[in-house]
């Protein structure tokens, strides 16, 4: 449960959404197969969310740079392209971390949607 819940540390510290689950997973993974599984799941989800956010920022940047003759319009297009996606990712992340925390506190495994499995 703490592997999922500790992802909210990212709201206070940069990269806390990765460091929180990583610390709990490394400290407790030997105690339980559920903790090992859910720690990996939490880390994979947080890494995936960072990848998706990075892609949105890169897209926004290229849309911004692509309109050099009209810098203001290019900036607006870049912001308009990236901001809704980043907002959606943030809400998506919050909702599914709460769901995963609830399920794992009941002793059930949870699989996040749209997660790239970096750690097997």
What is the distance in angstroms between the CA of the first residue and the CA of the last residue of the chain? 19
Query: On the CB side of 53, how many CA atoms lie within 13 Å of its CA?
Result: 15
Q: Which domain holds residue 54?
A: 2-105
Q: State the average pLDDT for the chain.
A: 87
| Each residue's pLDDT tens digit, 30-75 | 999 999 999 999 999 999 999 999 998 888 777 766 655 555 555 6
Residue 115 lies in a domain: no
Sequence-ordered list of residues with C-beta below 8 angstroms from that of 34, at least 6 positions apart, any chain = 104, 107, 109
Whole-prediction pTM: 0.84
Structurally, the chain folds into a number of domains equal to 1
Residue 25 lies in a domain: yes
Lowest-confidence region among 6-10, 66-70, 97-101: 66-70
Query: On the CB side of 81, how many CA atoms lie within 13 Å of its CA?
Result: 19
Average pLDDT over residues 79-88: 84
Residue 120 lies in a domain: no
Residue 8 lies in a domain: yes
**So what's the pLDDT on residue 10?**
85
Residue 33 lies in a domain: yes
């Amino acid at each position: 449960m703490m592997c999922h819940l500790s992802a909210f540390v990212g709201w206070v510290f940069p990269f806390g959404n990765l460091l929180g689950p990583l610390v709990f997973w490394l400290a407790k993974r030997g105690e339980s197969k559920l903790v090992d599984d859910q720690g990996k799941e939490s880390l994979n989800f947080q890494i995936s969310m960072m990848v998706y956010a990075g892609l949105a920022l890169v897209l926004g940047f290229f849309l911004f740079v692509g309109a050099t003759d009209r810098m203001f319009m290019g900036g607006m297009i870049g912001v308009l392209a990236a901001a809704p996606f980043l907002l959606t990712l943030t809400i998506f992340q919050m909702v599914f971390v709460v769901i995963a925390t609830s399920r794992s506190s009941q002793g059930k495994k949870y699989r996040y949607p749209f997660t790239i499995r970096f750690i097997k």
